[in-house]
Amino acid sequence: MRKNPIIALFTILTFVSSNVFGGLAWADEPAEPEPEQVVTIQAGEPAPFAGTLFSTTAAAKLVVDLEFNQEACHLEIDRRLRLSGAEYQLQIDILDVSLESLGIKTTSLLEIRDEHIMFLETELKPTPWFKSSEFGFVIGILAGAGITIGAGYAIHQVSQ
């Protein structure tokens, strides 16, 4: 696709001029604010400036209200901080108790498991051959047979 060189040149010039001259601003200097003034005037005198005129009691009330509101704000902030601290401490205490109870539960479960393992080891462990009831039965039969044979031999010896 072939581009028109006039359009390309116009685009480049527009881009360069907007970047170079675009940052210039033609504004008036800002007006200086009127200085704050406190002037005491008597009834009937013209005010030296335009604005709101307060009586001495109204101005005093305004200052007192401002100080009261500021102190009330500080008190409310302190109250909310203490309340938030108490809520967080409650959450910490609840989690501590939960952790402790889970630790006790885990310890109890481990003790029960260990006792069960010991029980199963003693119940399922094979008894030695010499402690088995079958061995005692065989020994009893052999001892009975031996006593019977011995008694028969003794009776035979005595009868001769």
Locus of tokens 């402690």: 131
Q: How many domains does the chain have?
A: 1
Q: What is the pLDDT of residues 112-140, one digit of tens each?
A: 999 999 998 888 777 777 777 888 889 99
Q: What is the pLDDT of residues 77-102, one digit of tens each?
A: 999 999 999 999 999 999 999 999 99
In a domain, 119, yes or no: yes
Q: What domain range is 63 assigned to?
A: 52-143
Written as six digits, the tokens of 92 are: 């910490």
Q: What is the pLDDT of residues 22-74, one digit of tens each?
A: 665 565 666 676 666 667 777 788 877 667 777 788 888 888 999 999 999 99
In a domain, 150, yes or no: no
In a domain, 136, yes or no: yes
DSSP string, 41-102: --TTPPPSSSS----HHHHHHHHHHHHHHHHHHHHHHHHHHHHHHHHHHHHHHHHHHHHHHH
Task: Write the CB contacts of 150 (distance below 8 Å, at least 6 apart in sequence).
Answer: none
In a domain, 93, yes or no: yes
In a domain, 39, yes or no: no
